[in-house]
Amino acid sequence: MQNIAKSGLRYVKARARKRDTVGEATYRALELVSDGLGTAGKALRQLGEATRPPARGSNTLASGTPKPAATAKARPATARKTA
């Protein structure tokens, strides 16, 4: 499939080199596609950077799981006063 696309693109580029009406139109179409792919690549790069997971501090173990929280000290039981 990839070889077919590459050979087709070679044909289109060869046609775009010709200085006739079809060649000019093909050249303009390649310009538009190239610019669009450049813009799409930039947008995807920015999206990739925006979705990168945040850095984690020292609260995580090497395996990526959070350290257990320190256990709270049990308060001594107090007798309830009844009125």
How far lies 80's CA from each of 19, 74, 77, 83, in Å? 98, 17, 9, 10
pTM score: 0.53
Domain count, the chain: 1
Q: Is residue 31 part of a domain?
A: yes
Q: Is residue 44 part of a domain?
A: yes
Q: Is residue 61 part of a domain?
A: no
Q: Is residue 59 part of a domain?
A: no
CA 70 to centroid of chain Cα atoms:
37
Domain range for 26: 2-50
Q: Is residue 57 part of a domain?
A: no
For 20-50, write each residue's pLDDT tens digit.
999 999 999 999 999 999 999 999 999 999 9
The CA-based angle 36-39-44, given to 5 degrees, is 120
